[in-house]
Structure 1
């Protein structure tokens, strides 16, 4: 995921799909880059909304296993990585796999307790806060305060369920923030998308016990597997192909600003598909995080 890879929770596989995007890019240049980004973000959020629709039949952990498992299968077939790794490399890949599993499980668990747009925005704040706090500039610290205030507004729902969802979403943000440097380390140790393919496989293995405990029998139903495959493709192949093609045509700054609009798109998709509405405070919180994200992106690019 480019400079802004960590700002999109579903972006864990974007680096690995670079070759796939290149293979399919001959038919894409006629589509304007912002439209491609819109298609990708809508696809990602449709995947999340459809996954949430299944929570009444299969739980978040089962959907996580399906999403990671099918994504891992596609990446392994595409990259065909070697399983012979040095110990340090193997530990790094395993760490990334654990991070991916934790990030996705927490995202789906929080999404089951709060609107999709809220869960997504809080999760995305993880790498945003990490980037801002690593800076010594006062302006970036102010962006952090704005994002923190936005998260507080987003989580202000009251009740045990709302508090639990908020706490899970914050844990998701921590995993998401850790994903960015860990994916960079794996990318530096293993060329191409092979490292990510192995990490996705390990992440699936880590998530599998939770899925089996929650409802392992569902993993044997053909229609559940088919639905899970569709969610994985909507959340992975389509958006990352669009993102990689967009990155070929626009600067990282433009890409990051476009990607920062995803929480708003997620909220709109959830409203359309799931009928989820946000309170005025949650809308203000979402807007605060989006503005803070754009501010950090512009500040980071200006300083580089």
Structure 2
């Protein structure tokens, strides 16, 4: 059985609500993931979360990979690998850097896509603005930045860019949530290499249930909500809304992780959001 997403019920207001809800769940899920870091570590937490996501989505969609073409299977494998690495690197970065800094650096990936696919010379304006914002957020002048954490965040940015491009291709070729279910399965297998060996001996009933709850926060519900939103909203408008994510990460980090920012970090988040919004408005998908 293949689960088909609902038709375009509702309008732009519904899409905006879905997108804002998705972003809130993503940042809440990232913050909640830190609850298991002491028990499983970032890699083990990532593996448990993605494994639950794969189980849930496979149970709902019941895909038939044996009936798919080699090209579609290859696309799913690439998307799953990018998703797994993106999730793994973001968790490792959050273990060393504030949530807002990780999201600000990571957003350079989606921003890069917007710039390279820009319409007109105005697209050249956004990279220096975004870079200035990242510098303000990470504060390299005071020596407090963890170099390894920053490297993880940069790797996360590259994987985020690949994830967006691959998601678009897979969504175009596979119906409903089939591509998402299979790619999450691949992502769980990819992260098992780094996290399962450490996590499995430490699993108990509490940890397994907490992992299930976190998996619903991220990635199951947000990814489904994004697909529903994109059925109702143009890609450019969706990307503009997504530019609010670094600012939302700052709020979530302040409220739930007590990561109170300095004024220049708030200004930096504003610059990253401005650059992302500008790049997103620079062109439409044909």
Q: Fold-level match, TM-score > 0.5?
A: yes
Deviations along 1:213-236, whole A, 9 cap, x unmatched?
Answer: 443322x31111111110111123
After TM superposition, give the deviation of residue 257 of structure 1 in Å.
Answer: 2.4
After TM superposition, give the deviation of residue 297 of structure 1 in Å.
Answer: 1.4
For residues 124 and 239 of structure 1, do their structure 2 counterparts lie closer, same or farther at Cα, with a shift above 3 Å needed? same
For 2:78 and 2:15, locate their aligned partners in 1 and report how far apart those are by CA, in whole Å. Answer: 34
For residues 293 and 208 of structure 1, do their structure 2 counterparts lie closer, same or farther at Cα, with a shift above 3 Å needed? same
SS in 1 for 2:260: coil
Of residues 189, 212, 216, the one that matches 1:205 is 189
For residues 200 and 248 of structure 1, do their structure 2 counterparts lie closer, same or farther at Cα, with a shift above 3 Å needed? closer
Match of 2:116 in 1: 133
Of residues 156, 162, 170, the one that matches 1:186 is 170
For 1:86 and 1:247, locate their aligned partners in 2 and report how far apart those are by CA, in whole Å. Answer: 25
SS in 1 for 2:175: coil
For residues 237 and 196 of structure 1, do their structure 2 counterparts lie closer, same or farther at Cα, with a shift above 3 Å needed? closer
For 1:119 and 1:80, locate their aligned partners in 2 and report how far apart those are by CA, in whole Å. Answer: 34
For 2:193 and 2:178, locate their aligned partners in 1 and report how far apart those are by CA, in whole Å. Answer: 24
Deviations along 1:196-215, whole A, 9 cap, x unmatched?
Answer: 21121111111002112443
- The within-5 A match list for 1:1-304 is 19=5, 22=6, 34-84=16-66, 85-135=68-118, 137-157=120-140, 159=143, 162-218=146-202, 220-244=203-227, 246-247=229-230, 250-301=233-284
For residues 205 and 246 of structure 1, do their structure 2 counterparts lie closer, same or farther at Cα, with a shift above 3 Å needed? closer
After TM superposition, give the deviation of residue 136 of structure 1 in Å.
Answer: 6.5
**Does the CA-based 8 Å contact 2:43-2:191 persist in structure 1?**
yes
Match of 1:12 in 2: none
After TM superposition, give the deviation of residue 17 of structure 1 in Å.
Answer: 8.7
For 1:173 and 1:51, locate their aligned partners in 2 and report how far apart those are by CA, in whole Å. Answer: 19
SS in 2 for 1:236: helix
Which 5+ residue runs of structure 2 have no aligned equivalent? none
Match of 1:10 in 2: none
Match of 1:4 in 2: none
More displaced 10-residue stretch of structure 1: 255-264 or 55-64: 255-264
Which 5+ residue runs of structure 1 have no aligned equivalent? 1-15
After TM superposition, give the deviation of residue 243 of structure 1 in Å.
Answer: 4.0
For residues 152 and 133 of structure 1, do their structure 2 counterparts lie closer, same or farther at Cα, with a shift above 3 Å needed? farther
- Number of residues of Structure 1 aligned to a counterpart in Structure 2: 282
**Does the CA-based 8 Å contact 1:61-1:210 persist in structure 2?**
yes
After TM superposition, give the deviation of residue 40 of structure 1 in Å.
Answer: 3.0
For 2:224 and 2:180, locate their aligned partners in 1 and report how far apart those are by CA, in whole Å. Answer: 16
